Chain A
Amino acid sequence: MCHLKNKEKLVHVTLRESSRRAAVISAASLPTQSRATCLQRGFTTSTQPLRSDNKVTVHFINRDGEKITVKGSPGDSLLDVVIDQDLDFDGFGACEGTLACSTCHLIFEEEVYKQLGPVTDEEMDMLDLAYGLTDTSRLGCQICLTKSLEGMVARVPESVSDIRQSGDGSS
């Protein structure tokens, strides 16, 4: 079910582009290491019935401090949720969930953070580049929804401001 969903997403993606890209995307980039993250980690709905109420509520706090409540499906990554729900976070998910940037950086409460599972070196390497890194930071493209995360809160941190840039210049 989750696997299908990833494929559907890819097809959906390719339909938005001109048709000649379709062949390239399906051949060359399917599935990249993080597109199939949730699938690879076994976060599928294969053991659960296909029901419309099989949803997980997630609250995002945006950069203006506003709380936005949405629902995702078990097996979705938090990046998937942000995209599917058309949430308007500037620059979120630039590399499209392939662990090549840190723009899907999210901050969690301690209790939730503990439930999110282990962090791979690969994720940690990119997280290390995120502005405003905390001990309860994760990359949204690596967090897979499960029913036990019902009601979780994820805060979108500030991105780098101009003032910091002029002094530092590095990422």
Chain B
Amino acid sequence: MLLMTCKPDRATLKYRFCQWSVCGRAPFSSCSPKVCIVGAGPAGFYTAQHLIKSRQDVEVDIYERLPVPFGLVRFGVAPDHPEVKNVINTFTQTAQHSRCSFYGNVNVGTDVSVKELQQAYHAVVLSYGAEGNRRMGVPGEDLAGVHAAKDFVGWYNGLPDNRKLHPDLSCETAVILGQGNVALDVARILLSPMDMLKKTDITQPALDLLAESRIRRVLIVGRRGPMQIACTIKEVREMVNLPDTRPEMVAADFKGIAEAVKEVPRPRKRLTELLLKTALDVPTEKEQEKRSKASRVWGFRFFRSPVEVLPAPDLSRAAAIRLAVNRLEGSGEGASAVPTGEVEDVPCGLVISSIGYKSLPIDPLLPFDSRKAIVPNTMGRVQKTAGVYCSGWLKTGPTGVIGTTMNNSFDTARALLEDMDSGALDVSSAKPGSQGVTPLLEKRGVKPVEFSDWEKIDNEEIKRGVAMGKPREKLLSVDEMLHVART
């Protein structure tokens, strides 16, 4: 199955003889179409995979800011979801392909410009995802004790930029704003028993801090109602089944839901039914026993939007969150939350804002839609910019699971291939590819990390993990990663 989506040696009907006739006797590699991809997460790898598989002459170089590849598969997927990370196997195959090269530790935008990449390659694919946060935009948002979910997740997953987060887990109640899968992951990690977490690849500093955590209650708050919740059923089921926890919901939030659920498609129906059951049904004897012994509580709260984070008396940190009470207008996925004028204050010491990641522009010369926070594009072709494409969250916005990104990336690759075939993308003249970039990097004192260097980092992490009884113990700083890569 590792070769499933990447068939490097299989001749396809799309092999192009015209490439040979144009280039005559020139060496093969200088004539081949050269594509560079910015970002080595799932979008980058799936785009590369599809390109390499579809044409026998395409060469793909993947540039990545960090010394390590895989993006959110490494830094976003929860430590207790290792199966989701199996895609790393297929990405590794792609990276090891003769027509693919990985260049880590290269920051496109500061170490090399997009314009320079456009000069060196026939096409540039932007797949650098969403490294910013959508802000709540409320007073008190910058108080100690308030964190963006992306940063909290980055912290427990070892993202170098988040290693100094040091969240304060000494309070009793944590409030998470947002009810997507990221919010559920955060809740689950906050409440999971230590003996479950300690076997995962969660970082040791995070594990140590969580072991001392005094958080006993996590509320996951959404603007709208139970039928608009954005998470998926698997994650809800994991909360329901989490050992040593019990659910605590507000029955009134579910008024009218049992009726409304009858008419909706199966996925929404099953999810809502699970919520109803968890919130309202009389528990079985076994479940009742679990609930009565549970030391930790979790619950969804609906129809609430944040309006202010209230500080402690000494103004040093968050002590409560003020929530506006909403009512729902309309129904289904398009229903909107309308404030009623009422507010409610919830005492808490940790506020996690999980309302969305956000893409950032990396080059002022490229078009960027700051309202939607994406690169404006049509089917992955960046608007008004020939030869530049985009895939993944940068293309469509920061929602969707890895499978969504996979299809999205395949679509961009198809558009690019179509353009090569039609001549819309001119691949007839030779381009230097990485040979046009590495001299620039050298001049600027930037030393790329190759895939074989990443493998040294990978080996080291696995080795350290064995000592801790974990699949790996991640290196936490870029310096440490580079040190291992260079040895």
Interface residues of A (CB under 8 A from B): 13, 16-18, 20-21, 24, 28-29, 32, 79, 82-83, 86, 88-103, 121-122, 124-126, 128-129, 131, 133, 159-162, 165-166, 169-171
- B459-470 toward A: CB 8 Å interface, digit per residue (1/0)? 100100000000
- Contact B86–A100 (Cβ < 8 Å): yes
Q: Which residues of A contact B86 (CB under 8 A)?
A: 94-96, 98, 100
- Contact B410–A90 (Cβ < 8 Å): yes
**Could you tell me the distance in whole angstroms from the C-beta of A158 to the nearest C-beta in chain B?**
10
> How distant is the Cα of A98 from the Cα of B83 in the complex, in angstroms?
6
Decide if B233 is an interface residue (CB 8 Å cutoff).
yes
> How distant is the Cα of A95 from the Cα of B7 in the complex, in angstroms?
18
> How distant is the Cα of A89 from the Cα of B410 in the complex, in angstroms?
12
- B214-240 toward A: CB 8 Å interface, digit per residue (1/0)? 000000000000000010111001000
**Interface centre among B3, B4, B5, B380, by most A CB within 10 Å?**
B4
- Give the contact stretch, choosing among B20-28, B311-319, B363-371, B392-400: B392-400
- Contact B232–A91 (Cβ < 8 Å): no
- Contact A129–B411 (Cβ < 8 Å): no
Interface residue SS majority, chain A: loop
Residue of B nearest to A83 (CB): B1
Q: Which residues of B contact A17 (CB under 8 A)?
A: 2, 89, 92
- Contact B1–A162 (Cβ < 8 Å): no
- Contact A171–B400 (Cβ < 8 Å): yes
> How distant is the Cα of A146 from the Cα of B2 in the complex, in angstroms?
25
Residue of A nearest to B409 (CB): A91
- B429-469 toward A: CB 8 Å interface, digit per residue (1/0)? 00000000000000000000000000100010010000000
- Contact B7–A88 (Cβ < 8 Å): yes
Q: Which residues of A contact B455 (CB under 8 A)?
A: 18
- Contact B401–A91 (Cβ < 8 Å): no
Q: Of the candidates A16, A18, A162, which one forms a contact with B379 in the assembled complex, judged by CB atoms under 8 Å apart?
A: A162
Decide if B408 is an interface residue (CB 8 Å cutoff).
yes
Decide if B82 is an interface residue (CB 8 Å cutoff).
yes
Q: Which residues of B contact A125 (CB under 8 A)?
A: 232-234, 237, 270
Q: A83-B4, A94-B86, A128-B267 are in contact. Are A171 and B396 (CB under 8 A)?
A: no
Interface residues of B (CB under 8 A from A): 1-5, 7, 10, 46, 50, 81-84, 86-87, 89-90, 92, 230, 232-234, 237, 266-267, 270-271, 379-380, 396-397, 399-404, 406-408, 410-411, 415, 455, 459, 462, 471
Q: Which residues of A contact B402 (CB under 8 A)?
A: 94, 101
> How distant is the Cα of A128 from the Cα of B402 in the complex, in angstroms?
15
Q: With A83-B4, A99-B83, A125-B233 given, name 12 new contacts (CB 8 A).
A: A13-B2, A17-B2, A28-B82, A32-B83, A88-B10, A96-B1, A102-B403, A159-B407, A161-B407, A165-B396, A165-B404, A171-B403
19 A-B pairs in the complex with CB atoms less than 8 angstroms apart:
A91-B403, A94-B5, A94-B87, A94-B406, A95-B83, A100-B81, A101-B402, A103-B406, A122-B234, A128-B233, A128-B266, A128-B271, A129-B401, A159-B406, A162-B411, A165-B407, A170-B399, A171-B401, A171-B403
* 6 A-B pairs closest in CB distance: A98-B83, A128-B267, A100-B83, A162-B411, A160-B407, A96-B86
Total CB contacts across the A-B interface at under 8 A: 125
> How distant is the Cα of A100 from the Cα of B399 in the complex, in angstroms?
17
**Could you tell me the distance in whole angstroms from the C-beta of B229 to the nearest C-beta in chain A?**
12
Q: Which residues of B contact A20 (CB under 8 A)?
A: 459, 462
Q: A91-B5, A98-B83, A100-B81 are in contact. Are A169 and B267 (CB under 8 A)?
A: no
Residue of B nearest to A91 (CB): B406
- Contact A90–B50 (Cβ < 8 Å): yes
> How distant is the Cα of A31 from the Cα of B109 in the complex, in angstroms?
44
- Contact A170–B84 (Cβ < 8 Å): no
- Contact B462–A169 (Cβ < 8 Å): no
> How distant is the Cα of A98 from the Cα of B402 in the complex, in angstroms?
14
**Could you tell me the distance in whole angstroms from the C-beta of B409 to the nearest C-beta in chain A?**
9
- Contact B408–A13 (Cβ < 8 Å): no
> How distant is the Cα of A92 from the Cα of B4 in the complex, in angstroms?
7
Q: Which residues of A contact B7 (CB under 8 A)?
A: 86, 88
Q: Which residues of B contact A86 (CB under 8 A)?
A: 3, 7
Residue of A nearest to B236 (CB): A125
Q: A129-B267, A159-B410 are in contact. Are A94 and B83 (CB under 8 A)?
A: no
Q: Which residues of B contact A165 (CB under 8 A)?
A: 396, 404, 407-408, 411
- Contact B237–A171 (Cβ < 8 Å): no
> How distant is the Cα of A124 from the Cα of B10 in the complex, in angstroms?
35
- Contact A24–B1 (Cβ < 8 Å): no
**Could you tell me the distance in whole angstroms from the C-beta of A102 to the nearest C-beta in chain B?**
6
- Contact B237–A121 (Cβ < 8 Å): yes
- Contact A90–B411 (Cβ < 8 Å): no
Q: A20-B462, A90-B410 are in contact. Are A28 and B267 (CB under 8 A)?
A: no
**Could you tell me the distance in whole angstroms from the C-beta of A5 to the nearest C-beta in chain B?**
14
- Contact B5–A95 (Cβ < 8 Å): no
Residue of A nearest to B7 (CB): A88
Residue of B nearest to A126 (CB): B234
Q: A94-B90, A101-B402, A102-B403 are in contact. Are A162 and B408 (CB under 8 A)?
A: yes
Residue of B nearest to A162 (CB): B411
Q: Which residues of B contact A13 (CB under 8 A)?
A: 1-2
Q: Of the candidates A21, A101, A166, which one forms a contact with B84 in the assembled complex, judged by CB atoms under 8 Å apart?
A: A101
Q: Which residues of A contact B84 (CB under 8 A)?
A: 95, 100-101
Q: A96-B1, A101-B84, A169-B397 are in contact. Are A161 and B411 (CB under 8 A)?
A: yes
Q: Which residues of B contact A131 (CB under 8 A)?
A: 407
Q: Which residues of B contact A90 (CB under 8 A)?
A: 5, 50, 410
Residue of B nearest to A101 (CB): B403
**Could you tell me the distance in whole angstroms from the C-beta of B255 to the nearest C-beta in chain A?**
25
Q: A17-B92, A128-B232, A171-B232 are in contact. Are A162 and B380 (CB under 8 A)?
A: yes
